[in-house]
Structure 1
Amino acid sequence: MTREEFVAELRRLHPLAEANPTSYRRRVWGWALLGYGFIALLLAGTVGLLGAVLAVGLAAKALGAIWKIGVLLVVFGWRVLRSLWVKFERPEGLPLGSAEAAPLLTLLRAQTRALKAPRVHQVLLTAEFNASAVQVPRLGMLGWTRNYVVVGLPLLQALSPEQAAAVVAHELGHLRGGHGRFGVWIYRVSSTWDQLMSQLEQQGGAAWLQRFTRWYVPRLNAWSHPVRRTDEFEADAAAARLTSAAAMAEALCATVVREQALDTLYWNPLIDRLATEPAPPGNAISGLLPVARTGHLPITEEARALQQALEADPDPFSTHPTLGERLRALGQPGGVPALPTQTAAEAWLGDQLPRLAASLDANWAAERTGFWQERHAELQEQRQRRQTLAERQAAGEELSADDAWALADLTEDHVGADEALPLFQALFTNSTWELAARFAVGRILLSRDDAAGLPLLDEVMSREPNFMGPCLALQEAYYTRAGNREQVRELAAAQLRHADIFDLAAAERASVEVTDQLHEPTVSETLRAELQTRLSRPELGVQAAWLLQKRVQHFPHKPFFVLLVQPAVARRSPEEVTAWVRQVAGSLDMEAEILVVNDNKQWAWLGEKARQTPGAAVYPVA
């Protein structure tokens, strides 16, 4: 299901859900049960076949046949179970007990009873500006969940106790019992299938099950979307009953403006220290606490950020309603809340707050030390290179096109966009870097809210589709800041169309099939010679190679090639073949898009096609 098809399906389903909620929920039940029915059918069919084979075999006294077929069925059943036995990772964080957060645990117990929610097994503290209730199935798709509440220290330090209590109640509301049980169940089922599909792709699960999940999960998500959105409203309502509608509304508004303030006042300056400090700070979270408590942007900036959030259109791919929708459902106005006199972190963690922050400091630094050191070294090298290039240019030397681009790019990163702008503009007449330079200038101008950047990005998109996604996103952000909602909607729809086309292009370039149209490659002599040079490396062990061009429907101006390679020494195991093909593919590192395939029996049809196509043989040099 493409993105556009998913959005069109949502437009069809939401009116159905509103017109007849009872009937619609029965149909969602059916979709939810279909997934479990598919699993049950596989297992029941396996058991049934095993029983039938046993009965027939005993009657015919064919014990040898029973044994052979029975083993095959048992193996199949085991593979079904093993495919479903996906490990769901528990959330990470510092465990909080009564010694660290007695007030928070007392609040959780009271809210859990009031909501008729299942017991929370563990509360975790993280360094994120977020809170969540997470259910981890201990038996995979069979359930038996362990329940976690995860709270971020930056969020607790930015909210008052009343606001944070509303946030926690909202998260617990997703687990609630009573009349909301159906919405909660659908929420869990959809989330579990989403996790299963993600884990199967990461862990290389069974192909047949992946095919089912890719068909089933998008359709389940579409049908459950109206129910899951309703569940968000009901979780807000449950939180409002336990605390107050005003507290819930203030928490929603505070998270918008406080997170932006933290990014601007704390995280962005901290990230800038990558260029000057060789190791990450050891007090990243402790240092954040005073900023989270008292830091704020100018009132006009906070008001503008809040207004944009209030006027935003719903994201069709998110089950979370917009801020405006949630406030209207609560019957509360939007506004920038005052800074808390006491934060939830101070009230709930008390004198344990410094110690817990120090523990998060250590974890934060340990997780980022390797990346920080590598990035710091890269930035130091970049600064030195920019300085060298700038000195050469100042001395009157005419830089090569690549060096001129590097100077412009590094100047923007290490000096500023104002200084880089004329350097990018000077590349408009360079055939190699023209489009990238026009994109950079358009991006910089739009970041200043200068409409002169719009036609530049339009030109870049018209000439190079690979730039379309970033260009559309930049234009959408510009019109969002300008408050032009109609233009934002048009650009959002255009991004969906482009993303779908991009996916289709990636899919047709991911493999080669016997039905594909393959022909003599149209390549320059320079590219052919470069390919031959790379294939001749002794460590690769390539005996011969043929290059074919696949006819593609999407982005045909970007040719796609298939390289059939014959090894000098035969590899016996599939693992050895795969490793060798990857080695050859990795050694090419060329601008041309090339799929490397091993010349063996599996690809005999491709070998026959390659050997019959004039001009396909590229190595050895004739």
Structure 2
Amino acid sequence: MEYKAFEHLVRRLELDSNASPEAFRRKVHAISLAAYAILFGLLAGLLALFIMLVHWAVESHRAFAMFKAGLGGLFLLSLIFVVLRVMLMRLDPPFGRELVREEAPKLFDILDKLYGKLQGPRIDHVLITDEFNAAIVQHARYGIFGGYRNYLLVGLPFLLGSTPKEMLSVLAHEYGHLCGDHGKGSVRIYRQRRLFVAMYQHLESSADESALSAAIVRALKRFFPYYSAYTFVLSRQDEYEADQTAVEMAGHTSTCHMLVRSRLLGEWIARDFWPSMYENADRLEKPPFMPFSSMRLAIKANYDEWATKKGLDAAWAKSSDLADTHPCLRERLDAIEMAPALPPPVDTSAADVMLASGVGKRLESELDQDWWEVNSRGWVHRFRHVQNSRVRIGELAALPLAKLSVQDLMELASLKLEFEETVSAKPALVELMKRAGGPYPRASLMYGRVLVAEGDRRGVDHLREAALNEPRLLEEAAQRGYQFLLERDGEAVAKRWWGSVVPQDEPA
């Protein structure tokens, strides 16, 4: 099914879901159960065929028949093995640092109140993670036979950046998934999706060798897009229902602030906080401060940077897409009948209230230590690379360009593009492309980058030259040229240029 057709199907199913949520949920669960019935039926059919094949080979008493039966049996056994292996696989439990009641008495008190109010299952494990996120996960210990354990994952950055009332809204939202049986259904559906994908990949390679394989592949091709569309819409419906649970427990205002803060602050942490953190590796062999210990202050100090009307307007303008089961901010706020509003600064964070005295600092220290263990080697490697590169730039730049070899000119241009302003690489590239022995496709690519960065239309000619002379540069050169022309001259011009560079079987 093509993307447009899949998108149309999802939009149609969303209308069905909105018209009758419970009826739609029952339909998806019925489809899920039917899928398991079909899979067990397929497994039973494969076993029956294998037994019949063995019986026929034994009864025939002919060597050739036994040889053919052996080949057929091996093929059937491979199919049976694939189905059994994936059906019985155990998904890994979620990862995080376990939090006990003594370390977070207020948080566990809130969970107790949620149990009593919503009458849902108890949470078996509370895990602290390093993400700006929170989630409920049900882990099946015995594969398709269940044995569920309920995990609540709470990111320490989320605790540091939210108010206690907003965190109550987050916890109620996540627990709402559990009460609505969303988690268990998601585990079953996730397992089914992995099963279908694994079966399809195994059978597709042998589809030409067997009519049975070809038939199963065709059936999966027809079934899976519809299954994906139904389960996608159900997951999005689950989000709306969980938001209603959050409103019931924490109120409209706190839930609104939670949704806006999680979007704007989450984007700022990913866009600014972490890149700024790693930029320090360009000049320092060790971090000047550790990320999680400094995050609380960074969030508060940079409030005016991430909590802006411009950012809120941009988030409000974004539409829901098929890459994320979470609806867009506008649709989630509309569903709880709230207008967009910037959340206030956090004076007392959820971590201050929900964690016992000293536990927040200990968790920050533990996460910092884990982060450094993972990133220390890459950090030091980057620091040494930058220092050595700057020394090398100085050595090469001290010599007249005319005296540099082709290799030295290429190295100088590459280093200047990496560590200095784009235009600073221009003299070395101009000198290089005058040298005998060309063409120099990589130099053409770099020069094209410099020109398009300046807004010079001639840059796409150099990008085309790079693409046509070096296939390994085709993708980068074509993408850069296409994007430049798309923004400058429009889609029609960009597509014509793409067609002059890229073979016709490679779409833009």
Structure 1 and Structure 2 fold alike (TM over 0.5): yes
Looking at structure 1, the residues matched to 309 and 420 of structure 2 have their Cα atoms a distance apart, in angstroms, of 30
**1:106-154 Cα shifts (integer Å, max 9, x gaps):** 2123224433433211111111111111222222344332221111111
**Contact in 1 for aligned 2:319/2:328 (Cα 8 Å):** yes
- CA drift at 1:50: 7.0
Looking at structure 1, the residues matched to 309 and 456 of structure 2 have their Cα atoms a distance apart, in angstroms, of 26
Q: Which residue of 1 aligns with 2:277?
A: 270
Q: Which residue of 2 aligns with 1:448?
A: none
Q: Which residue of 1 aligns with 2:33?
A: 33
- CA drift at 1:323: 0.9
Looking at structure 1, the residues matched to 189 and 461 of structure 2 have their Cα atoms a distance apart, in angstroms, of 39
Q: Which residue of 2 aligns with 1:383?
A: 390
Looking at structure 1, the residues matched to 457 and 340 of structure 2 have their Cα atoms a distance apart, in angstroms, of 32
Counterpart code for 1:347: V
How high is the TM-score relative to the length of structure 2?
Answer: 0.76
**Contact in 2 for aligned 1:274/1:280 (Cα 8 Å):** yes
Q: Which residue of 2 aligns with 1:165?
A: 168
Counterpart code for 1:385: R
**Contact in 2 for aligned 1:121/1:148 (Cα 8 Å):** yes
Looking at structure 1, the residues matched to 281 and 195 of structure 2 have their Cα atoms a distance apart, in angstroms, of 37
Counterpart code for 2:91: F
**1:33-89 Cα shifts (integer Å, max 9, x gaps):** 34312321133225545776899999x899xx99x9999788865553223333312
- Find 1:366's aligned residue among 361, 368, 373: 373
Matches within 5 A, 1:282-301: 283-298=290-305
Looking at structure 1, the residues matched to 235 and 401 of structure 2 have their Cα atoms a distance apart, in angstroms, of 64
Q: Which residue of 1 aligns with 2:470?
A: none
- CA drift at 1:23: 6.5
Residue aligned with 2:128, SS? strand
- CA drift at 1:336: 1.9
Residue aligned with 2:355, SS? helix
Cα distance change on mapping 1:93 and 1:421 into 2, 3 Å: farther
**1:212-248 Cα shifts (integer Å, max 9, x gaps):** 8777544322222222222211111111111112111
**1:454-504 Cα shifts (integer Å, max 9, x gaps):** 99679958995724556677899x89xxxxxxx9xx89xx9xxx9xxxxxx
**Contact in 1 for aligned 2:21/2:237 (Cα 8 Å):** no
**Contact in 2 for aligned 1:130/1:151 (Cα 8 Å):** yes
Looking at structure 1, the residues matched to 396 and 200 of structure 2 have their Cα atoms a distance apart, in angstroms, of 45
Residue aligned with 1:118, SS? coil
Residue aligned with 2:166, SS? helix
- Find 2:238's aligned residue among 231, 242, 249: 231
Residue aligned with 2:152, SS? strand
How high is the TM-score relative to the length of structure 1?
Answer: 0.63
Q: Which residue of 2 aligns with 1:45?
A: 45
Cα distance change on mapping 1:53 and 1:260 into 2, 3 Å: closer
Q: Which residue of 1 aligns with 2:327?
A: 321
Matches within 5 A, 1:445-484: 452=455, 466-467=475-476, 469=479
Q: Percent identity at matched positions?
A: 26
Cα distance change on mapping 1:419 and 1:216 into 2, 3 Å: farther
Alignment pair present for 1:120 and 2:130: no
Looking at structure 2, the residues matched to 453 and 330 of structure 1 have their Cα atoms a distance apart, in angstroms, of 49
Matches within 5 A, 1:498-537: none
**Contact in 1 for aligned 2:450/2:459 (Cα 8 Å):** no
**Contact in 1 for aligned 2:135/2:174 (Cα 8 Å):** yes
**1:360-396 Cα shifts (integer Å, max 9, x gaps):** 111111112232233333333332332333223xx34
Residue aligned with 1:123, SS? strand
- Find 2:416's aligned residue among 411, 426, 430: 411
Looking at structure 1, the residues matched to 326 and 396 of structure 2 have their Cα atoms a distance apart, in angstroms, of 49
The structure where helix makes up a greater share of residues is: 2
Cα distance change on mapping 1:409 and 1:145 into 2, 3 Å: farther
**1:332-382 Cα shifts (integer Å, max 9, x gaps):** 121221111100111111321111111111111111223223333333333
Alignment pair present for 1:93 and 2:96: yes
Matches within 5 A, 1:46-445: 46=46, 48=48, 77=80, 80-177=83-180, 181=181, 187-194=186-193, 216-263=223-270, 266-279=273-286, 283-298=290-305, 302-350=308-356, 351-392=358-399, 395-397=400-402, 399=404, 403-404=408-409, 406-417=411-422, 419=424, 432=441, 433-439=443-449, 441-442=451-452, 444=453
Q: Which sits farther off after the overlay, 355-364 or 398-407?
A: 398-407
Counterpart code for 2:83: V
**Contact in 1 for aligned 2:333/2:339 (Cα 8 Å):** yes
**1:194-213 Cα shifts (integer Å, max 9, x gaps):** 555788999x9997899687
Q: Which sits farther off after the overlay, 363-372 or 340-349?
A: 363-372
- CA drift at 1:295: 2.8
**Contact in 1 for aligned 2:135/2:154 (Cα 8 Å):** yes
Looking at structure 2, the residues matched to 460 and 44 of structure 1 have their Cα atoms a distance apart, in angstroms, of 58
**Contact in 2 for aligned 1:280/1:365 (Cα 8 Å):** no
CA RMSD, 1 decimal: 4.5
**Contact in 2 for aligned 1:293/1:343 (Cα 8 Å):** no
- CA drift at 1:105: 1.7
Q: Which residue of 2 aligns with 1:614?
A: none
Residue aligned with 2:178, SS? coil
Q: Which sits farther off after the overlay, 414-423 or 237-246?
A: 414-423
**1:530-573 Cα shifts (integer Å, max 9, x gaps):** xxxxxxxxxxxxxxxxxxxxxx86249xxxxxxxxxxxxxxxxx
- CA drift at 1:427: 8.3
Counterpart code for 1:434: S
Cα distance change on mapping 1:423 and 1:106 into 2, 3 Å: farther
Cα distance change on mapping 1:404 and 1:56 into 2, 3 Å: closer
Cα distance change on mapping 1:292 and 1:12 into 2, 3 Å: same
Cα distance change on mapping 1:456 and 1:363 into 2, 3 Å: same
Counterpart code for 1:413: E
- CA drift at 1:325: 1.2
Counterpart code for 2:291: A
Cα distance change on mapping 1:247 and 1:51 into 2, 3 Å: same
Looking at structure 2, the residues matched to 61 and 396 of structure 1 have their Cα atoms a distance apart, in angstroms, of 84
Looking at structure 2, the residues matched to 282 and 223 of structure 1 have their Cα atoms a distance apart, in angstroms, of 47
Residue aligned with 2:308, SS? helix
Counterpart code for 2:444: E
Looking at structure 2, the residues matched to 52 and 158 of structure 1 have their Cα atoms a distance apart, in angstroms, of 64
Residue aligned with 2:364, SS? helix
- CA drift at 1:32: 2.1
Looking at structure 2, the residues matched to 373 and 412 of structure 1 have their Cα atoms a distance apart, in angstroms, of 22
Looking at structure 2, the residues matched to 420 and 397 of structure 1 have their Cα atoms a distance apart, in angstroms, of 15
Looking at structure 1, the residues matched to 460 and 340 of structure 2 have their Cα atoms a distance apart, in angstroms, of 35
**1:424-457 Cα shifts (integer Å, max 9, x gaps):** 7988998623344334554x56xxxxxx489967
Cα distance change on mapping 1:279 and 1:173 into 2, 3 Å: same
Residue aligned with 1:105, SS? helix
Consecutive unaligned residues in structure 1, runs of 5 or more: 446-451, 480-486, 499-504, 506-551, 557-622
Looking at structure 1, the residues matched to 325 and 364 of structure 2 have their Cα atoms a distance apart, in angstroms, of 32
**Contact in 2 for aligned 1:424/1:438 (Cα 8 Å):** no
